[in-house]
Structure 1
Amino acid sequence: MTCRRFASAFVAVTLGATPAWEPLSAQVRVLPNPPVVVDSADPVALLVARLDLEKYKGTIKGLTQFGDRRQGTTRNRDAVDWIEAQLKSYGCANVERITYEYNPPAFAERPANAPAAAAGAAPRPVSTQASGGGRARGVRTRAGVNNDSLAQPDARLRALNAEPSVNGMRQEVYCTKVGTTRPDEMYIIGGHMDGIGWGEAANDDASGSAIVMELARIFSDPAVQTERSIRFALWNNEETGLQGARAYIEQRAKLQGIEEPRGSGKYPEPKWLGMIQHDMMMFDHGMPNLDGTMRKEQRPEADVNIEFQINSKQADASMKLAFLLHQANSRYATDYPAQVGPHMTNTDSGPFQDLIPAVSLRENERGTQVGSGWDPHWHQPTDLFKTFSDADFRLGLNAAQTTLGAVGKLVGATLKR
């Protein structure tokens, strides 16, 4: 069996006879985390053990070399090329691209150098109803998108992010692990590679894209076999309204389960069994303090949020998928527990939610917490690789362990010895 190891050290409180005057600190012993024990008889546990913090960080670092990767720019296209090269280097089969057009009206995005709000402008009202449902509670601060280049003090990064987005062709990359006995069925694992805010989009969403890429690396090992197929998708245009995910559905949905060529046993678009999205995976420092500041360290009780949309047509099946991930977290994640919430919103699983079971993994509840300012780096110049500590990166790694554990079971993964 695997052992759970929480991010915070286990705290043991001595309950014996203690003088009334003795301070609480004298009654507390901080114990070391127990070692993680891998069940060698469980192939999924062996695959999860191949996830590595430094490799995960390295993939995030590789994505941040392209700055914020805003869609419609050279840096975005260069990042797409880099992702494709990485997937091919892993041996991931059928590396392909979705090509689509994105031509919004000129007012759809603020000019890159425009401030978020005019000086002296009246503050916008703050709603208590969160996006996707639920009710925002607790301490809340303003959240928005930085569009001011001068807010980025790093001249090199400011220059890298300077090219504005232009209308036209967009592309995104995906690859596939082909199943051995049910190649006509698959699960989709996604993250979005584009970002905004004049930073490096390290958390939003290199942290989620790196999970997708690291799972692609592990499942692409020829020694790993799966009964069902898995598709690893790196969406584009998430920040402008999920256009990349929508383009994928528009182009590929009607091709599901069609053998091509007939009699070949090949299915270019296997039937979709479920979609698992990863979007902002690393920052769970709790709600803001009363003065609007945030604690500097990852909170000891940080967790992986698994969300489904309770109002979707696939709510029951999505909830079941969410709890399968929750169960996998209990078995395979080394540090941080998971919790399930019913208000998935504002990410690439949304366009899938009425079609198939769809869930999103997050650092916090998207609507009620991220939308209330619980991540001060969201769409800001401070969303940089160097902003985050190993405790933050480890939260993302635990999400990867959660997804790999669940998907490994769902697709019947085995490992040749």
Structure 2
Amino acid sequence: MTPTARRSAASMALALTFSLAVPHAFAQQQQPAAVPTDPITVLVGQLELEKYKATIKSLTKFGDRRQGTLRNRQALDWIEAQLKAYGCSNVERLQYQFTEPAPRGKPAVAAGGGAGGAPGQGGSTLFGNRAPTGVNNDPMKQPDERLRALNAEPTPLGTSLRENVYCTKIGKTRPDEMYIVSAHMDGIGFGEAANDDGSGTALVMELARIFSQPGVETERSIRFALWNNEETGLNGAAAYVEQRKDLQGIESPKGSGKYPEPKWLGMIQHDMMLFDHGMPVPKLDAAGKPVLDAKGQPVYELPKEQRLEADVNIEFQSQSKQSEGSAKLAWALRAANDRYATNYPAAVGFHMTNTDSTPFMDLVPSISLRENERGQQIGAGWNPHWHQPTDLYANYSDKDFLLGLNAAQTTLAGVAKLVGAKVAK
């Protein structure tokens, strides 16, 4: 074979070897890189409708959990036991003395229609049809004898001890900073307080459960707080602010790396999460004509089903000293809803009022999540079960409970991002 022929044969052999080897190497190089699992998706995926419902159902066995009563204390004991069972660290109670209820504002009693209306609480304006609101203080309006007996004990008169309960997810790298995630566990009305505020309490407890799972780490701390005495004037939350605000960020004991009250970065309250059926509509008789009351005025009722355009309301108070930071916090949760909620969107409003985030709002960015805008919608009677004997677990459908679950998805995702949550593989 000539030198030229040998070179040609060698080149062909080399080319053949290269053609066989390169595709394998190329294929190895072109394998798609593994996409890192989003820890927030993993955490949100731990929320389940049936678990959320089960926690609300368990809370209703204590009736309306009226502050100062045995049923209220039993509910606190049960919540504390659940938090410990979840593995949530440092389960604690904050005690305070309570004397007399703060005066409640006059309820909106207008029953009817047209645009406009009196200003709502928090600076909003009441538009559209309105229905009566108020607080039921008559136990005989509860037709269920068992529930009526359960709720029979009244609030004791005079001064007595009250308690909040909370636990803390301690941050790995910034244990000295925290977000507060909260709801109120007391209720009124001689029902079961399933929505007000069993729905918010269950939401906070579910988040405490998920963040307390083995393998879940956060850079910053999260405190899961259940307030008492909300229905008497936000007294439990106000007591916490009074007792703890000056302890923020102080290491105790010195050099221990422990911070009993980490610096507050944000406060997120949850109060009534289930019912967004829209404004009251005229009640019709069998012939399709409006039903009139004794004064000849139309009778209004709420639609039976959760409306398709239901949403989670995220509110901040534009008149607070922390309004700019509160607005940023609200929009952070709105963005979390956009990405991680499954069924219902969120809306941001600036009339937060009459909720346990109010005592915090001049000290730290504070927001409230609700089923409806507090002043304009809840204040106009958009929830017929509010403070009534009909606030019962049985009176809400899965569509209603799903709104609460979407609120949980919203807060969990937003907080997970804010605290730098990670999930071990």
**TM-score normalized by the length of structure 1:** 0.86
Q: Which amino acid aligns with 1:146?
A: N
Displacement of 1:294: 1.1
> Alignment partner for residue 76 of structure 1, among 72, 84, 109?
72
CA contact (8 A) 1:69 1:201 kept: yes
Aligned residue for 2:411? 403
Over residues 259-300 of structure 1, what are the superposed CA-to-partner deviations in whole Å (9 max), with x where a residue is unaligned? 001111100000000000000000000000034111110000
Q: Structure 1: which 5+ residue stretches go unaligned? A: 1-38, 110-115, 118-122
Aligned residue for 1:377? 385
Displacement of 1:104: 1.0
The CA distance in 1 between the partners of 2:281 and 2:321, in whole Å, is 38
Which structure 2 residues correspond to residues 302-321 of structure 1 after superposition, within 5 A?
A: 302-321=310-329
CA contact (8 A) 2:314 2:349 kept: yes
Q: Does residue 330 in structure 1 map to residue 329 in structure 2? A: no
What secondary structure is seen at the aligned counterpart in 2 of 1:335? coil
Aligned residue for 1:247? 239
Q: Which amino acid aligns with 1:203?
A: N
Q: Does residue 164 in structure 1 map to residue 172 in structure 2? A: no
> Alignment partner for residue 256 of structure 1, among 220, 230, 248?
248
> Alignment partner for residue 176 of structure 1, among 168, 176, 181?
168
Q: Does residue 278 in structure 1 map to residue 270 in structure 2? A: yes
Aligned residue for 1:301? 309
Cα gap change, 1:108/1:317 in structure 2, threshold over 3 Å: closer, same or farther? closer
The CA distance in 2 between the partners of 1:51 and 1:288, in whole Å, is 32
Q: Does residue 345 in structure 1 map to residue 335 in structure 2? A: no
Which structure 2 residues correspond to residues 112-191 of structure 1 after superposition, within 5 A?
A: 128-166=118-156, 167=158, 168-191=160-183
Larger radius of gyration: 2
Displacement of 1:172: 1.2
Over residues 92-133 of structure 1, what are the superposed CA-to-partner deviations in whole Å (9 max), with x where a residue is unaligned? 00000010011117x969xxxxxx99xxxxx78996101011
The CA distance in 1 between the partners of 2:377 and 2:88, in whole Å, is 36
Q: Between Structure 1 and Structure 2, which shows a larger proportion of helix residues?
A: 2
The CA distance in 2 between the partners of 1:124 and 1:239, in whole Å, is 22
Which stretch of structure 1 is more off in the superposition, 174-183 or 285-294? 285-294
Q: Which amino acid aligns with 2:251?
A: E
What secondary structure is seen at the aligned counterpart in 1 of 2:384? coil
CA contact (8 A) 1:279 1:362 kept: yes
Q: Does residue 52 in structure 1 map to residue 27 in structure 2? A: no
What secondary structure is seen at the aligned counterpart in 2 of 1:284? coil
Aligned residue for 1:354? 362
Displacement of 1:42: 0.6
The CA distance in 2 between the partners of 1:378 and 1:104, in whole Å, is 22
What secondary structure is seen at the aligned counterpart in 1 of 2:198? helix
Q: Which amino acid aligns with 1:176?
A: T
Q: Does residue 104 in structure 1 map to residue 100 in structure 2? A: yes
The CA distance in 2 between the partners of 1:125 and 1:301, in whole Å, is 24
RMSD: 1.7
Cα gap change, 1:144/1:40 in structure 2, threshold over 3 Å: closer, same or farther? farther
Q: Does residue 89 in structure 1 map to residue 85 in structure 2? A: yes
What secondary structure is seen at the aligned counterpart in 2 of 1:132? helix
The CA distance in 2 between the partners of 1:266 and 1:386, in whole Å, is 44
Over residues 219-260 of structure 1, what are the superposed CA-to-partner deviations in whole Å (9 max), with x where a residue is unaligned? 001210000000000000000000000000111111100000
CA contact (8 A) 2:111 2:131 kept: no
The CA distance in 1 between the partners of 2:348 and 2:66, in whole Å, is 31
Over residues 133-176 of structure 1, what are the superposed CA-to-partner deviations in whole Å (9 max), with x where a residue is unaligned? 11110100110000111110000000000100014100110000
The CA distance in 2 between the partners of 1:267 and 1:125, in whole Å, is 51
Cα gap change, 1:163/1:185 in structure 2, threshold over 3 Å: closer, same or farther? same
Cα gap change, 1:124/1:290 in structure 2, threshold over 3 Å: closer, same or farther? closer
Q: Which amino acid aligns with 2:383?
A: D
What secondary structure is seen at the aligned counterpart in 1 of 2:123? coil
What is the aligned length? 367
Aligned residue for 1:217? 209
**TM-score normalized by the length of structure 2:** 0.84
CA contact (8 A) 1:286 1:374 kept: yes
The CA distance in 2 between the partners of 1:312 and 1:138, in whole Å, is 28
The CA distance in 2 between the partners of 1:363 and 1:92, in whole Å, is 27
What secondary structure is seen at the aligned counterpart in 1 of 2:221? strand
Over residues 327-373 of structure 1, what are the superposed CA-to-partner deviations in whole Å (9 max), with x where a residue is unaligned? 00000000000000000011100001111000000000011100110
Which structure 2 residues correspond to residues 2-13 of structure 1 after superposition, within 5 A?
A: none
The CA distance in 1 between the partners of 2:365 and 2:174, in whole Å, is 19
Q: Which amino acid aligns with 2:141?
A: A
CA contact (8 A) 1:40 1:46 kept: no
